[in-house]
Amino acid sequence: MTKTIEVRYYAQLKGILGKSSESLAFDLPANENEILRQLQSRYPEASEMLSLSRIAVDETYLSEDQIISDFESIDVITPVSGG
């Protein structure tokens, strides 16, 4: 099944892509790695940053192998550092 989902980008990824959000179609069901691979395929220039990122679905982080089949939004969370 394919579903159109609102995707939000932050930090470095927002800068690489030049946008903070968009609506994209995803093949579902999928897990975090599959969602990231779909994004990497669409945005090869952001592939490295996406490989380091985590996915939150409807504002909740996915566990690595958790399969999801229905949701409304994705937040792509890039690595952060602080001091």
pLDDT of residue 65: 83
Amino acid at 5: I
pTM of the model: 0.88
Name 27's bridge partners: 2
| Residues 6+ away with beta carbon under 8 Å from 41 | none
At 72 the pLDDT is 86
* SS3 of residue 49 by DSSP: helix
Structure tokens at 49: 């940053």
Task: Walk along the chain (83 residues) and give the pLDDT tens digit of each residue.
Answer: 899 999 999 999 999 999 999 999 999 999 999 999 999 999 999 999 999 999 999 889 988 788 988 888 999 999 876 55
Angle 51-19-7 (CA atoms, 0-180°, nearest 5)? 60
Quick one: which of 43, 35, 44 has its CA closest to 73? 35
